Structure 1
């Protein structure tokens, strides 16, 4: 009986090792270059955004109103995509902030739908999210907001000639510095003459989506204000009606 047990264990042990080996190999596939989830999209950036109406229906509308659909369809660009939640919040805030009330009292048309906003305003603020060339997360330098002298990120010029600092935060894991997950951050800089002041930082929730003509990084909803400064946009909308 003891001989039988020993023989059985001798036969089963290698088999278990083989099973574990192949299971590990299969599992490892999920950790290579973004895993099994496919980042590529067969179509251009506009087609990708249009394929996600729940998240980007309003965004596609304002891109077309701004006349930027050709740019995002034909040119090779990196686009930091805001979510529809933030666009709808802007329209809602026009009432809360008194912009529509002021326009009404002045006998001017109020803002109710996206097309009521001057297309040049949409264009001005959307251009802050568009950058020339294709840049994935791995193409951006590290940024540590607590150690910016060492890890400063990098300054980039957007299509509208505005400026942002873009960098990747290396999070900690298990008490080990910089060994955790990595998250892309974009920080709009309102005044390039004071490049270290008044940053408006937004984190990226989904990075490295790759349509045929560029890269899309989807911005987090929480804390994001359209154009990086909703107050500035509200003022521009109000001024455009005067």
Structure 2
């Protein structure tokens, strides 16, 4: 009887371990290119953001403050979703510059005018429904051969989007595939000065859009914190704050 219990206990441990391993494998696959996880979300893009407040509470607030909420609810869109982490680091960066220049700091997201939020939110937003398979390959060490592709974001900011093909056991381009997006600061020199971020989870399919979630390496919301800071400082200066 004791041997039977011990055997059953060992089998239970093995089953739990195998289940955990399988779950990790699935999560890892989805983390990079949607893999085996269920990509479907019942609801629009705003519903998706609201369903995950730990990651997107501030992002959802900015969608509303920017006046773009109806677009996120009903238009056919592709959204490279930044996380709240990137917004917090942007606010910290901006507030440090404002304080040093003698201006009031940003206390709430509502302190930033709607047009500024729209300007920086819209760089993540694109017309149409585009999944990983719809984007070309990019190799940042060999852009002449695999350059990705330039796209205009919702409000016509030039961006580059491409899929990085990973290596596997020394064989190039046969491993995992990971989406990346780059901010192009100067259209007159479109291959220079890119600010690049990578996607953690891609191909999340909502009722009206495709969401690709950026990883934590995306440090600053809007890609270019100095430009955001200058825009905010100009508004605060003109209003006497």
TM-score, normalised with respect to structure 1: 0.82
Q: Which residue of 1 aligns with 2:77?
A: 77
Q: Which residue of 1 aligns with 2:212?
A: 217
Q: Which residue of 2 aligns with 1:117?
A: 112
Q: Which residue of 2 aligns with 1:170?
A: 165
**In 1, Cα distance between equivalents of 2:189 and 2:94:** 30
Q: Which residue of 2 aligns with 1:126?
A: 121
Q: Which residue of 2 aligns with 1:88?
A: 88
Of 123, 139, 143, 1:148 maps to: 143
Mapping of residues 222-233 of structure 1, within 5 Å: 222-233=217-228
- The superposition leaves residues 33-55 of structure 1 with CA deviations (integer Å, 9 ceiling, x where unpaired) of 94541101010000001000000
Mapping of residues 1-242 of structure 1, within 5 Å: 34-96=34-96, 98-104=97-103, 109-242=104-237
Gaps in structure 2 of 5+ consecutive residues: 1-21
Q: What is the CA-CA distance between 1:101 and the residue it aligns to?
A: 4.3
RMSD: 1.8
Helix, strand or coil at the partner of 2:222: helix
Is the Cα–Cα contact under 8 Å of residues 103 and 241 in structure 1 kept in the other structure? no
Is the Cα–Cα contact under 8 Å of residues 159 and 183 in structure 2 kept in the other structure? yes
TM-score, normalised with respect to structure 2: 0.82
Q: Which residue of 1 aligns with 2:3?
A: none
- The superposition leaves residues 171-203 of structure 1 with CA deviations (integer Å, 9 ceiling, x where unpaired) of 101111111111001011111121111111111
- The structure showing larger relative contact order (alpha-carbon pairs under 8 Å, at least 6 residues apart) is 2
**In 1, Cα distance between equivalents of 2:101 and 2:112:** 15
Q: Which residue of 1 aligns with 2:6?
A: none
Is the Cα–Cα contact under 8 Å of residues 86 and 218 in structure 2 kept in the other structure? no
Rg larger in structure: 1
Helix, strand or coil at the partner of 1:227: coil
**In 2, Cα distance between equivalents of 1:82 and 1:34:** 17
Helix, strand or coil at the partner of 1:228: coil
Is the Cα–Cα contact under 8 Å of residues 203 and 210 in structure 2 kept in the other structure? yes
Gaps in structure 1 of 5+ consecutive residues: 1-26
Q: Which runs of 4+ in 1 moved over 3 A?
A: 30-36
Number of residue pairs matched by the alignment = 209
Is the Cα–Cα contact under 8 Å of residues 91 and 112 in structure 1 kept in the other structure? no
Helix, strand or coil at the partner of 1:46: helix
